[in-house]
């Protein structure tokens, strides 16, 4: 690893973050409709990605317990409630089933 490579990585990362924010022209209504529908699916996908081990299956059982705890309170539409429920479920699982 060299400093030049670090700078290239930083440039690629920043460019990816700034590209749409700086260069995206006004979008047709239909495209905006698709973008508007994306966030819940994107977040659900990111959550799923966090609990899965590629090529193997679901990951840590306590993490999955935390995810289920959060899922159960999603009808409340409160981020804080989800965080609390997730942490409580995670800790409860760890308490009931300690890691070897």
Partner 1 sequence: MGAYDAALLEEPVELRSTLISAAPLAIAIGVFGVIFGAAASATLDPLMTIGMSALVFSGSLQFALLGLVTSGAGPIALLATAIALNARHVVLGAVLRPRFKGSFLTRALQSAVLLDESFGLAVVSGQRAPTVLVTSGVLFYIAWIAGTVLGVLGASVGGLEGLAAALFPVLFIGLAGVTSRGRDTAIRAAIAAASVIVVSILVPGAYTFMPIVAAIVVALPGGRTK
Q: How far is the CB of 39 from partner 1 (least distance, A)?
A: 4
First to last CA, the chain: 37
CB atoms within 10 A of CB 83: 14
* 100 belongs to the binding site for partner 1 (CB under 8 A): no
Site string for partner 1, 51-90 (x = CB under 8 A): xx-xxxxx-x-xx--xx-xxx-xxxxxxxxxxx-xxx--x
Q: State which of positions 19-48 bind partner 1 (CB under 8 A).
A: 19-22, 24, 27, 30, 32-48
Q: How far is the CB of 96 from partner 1 (least distance, A)?
A: 15
Q: Nearer to partner 1 by C-beta: 77 or 100?
A: 77
């Amino acid at each position: 690893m060299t400093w030049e490579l670090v700078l290239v990585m930083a440039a690629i990362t920043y460019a990816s973050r700034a590209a749409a924010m700086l260069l995206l022209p006004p979008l047709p209504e239909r495209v905006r409709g698709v973008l508007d529908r994306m966030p819940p699916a994107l977040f659900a996908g990111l959550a799923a990605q966090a609990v899965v081990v590629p090529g193997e299956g679901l990951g840590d059982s306590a993490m999955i317990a935390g995810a289920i705890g959060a899922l159960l309170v999603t009808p409340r539409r409160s981020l804080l409630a989800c965080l609390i429920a997730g942490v409580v479920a995670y800790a409860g699982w760890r308490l009931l089933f300690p890691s070897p």
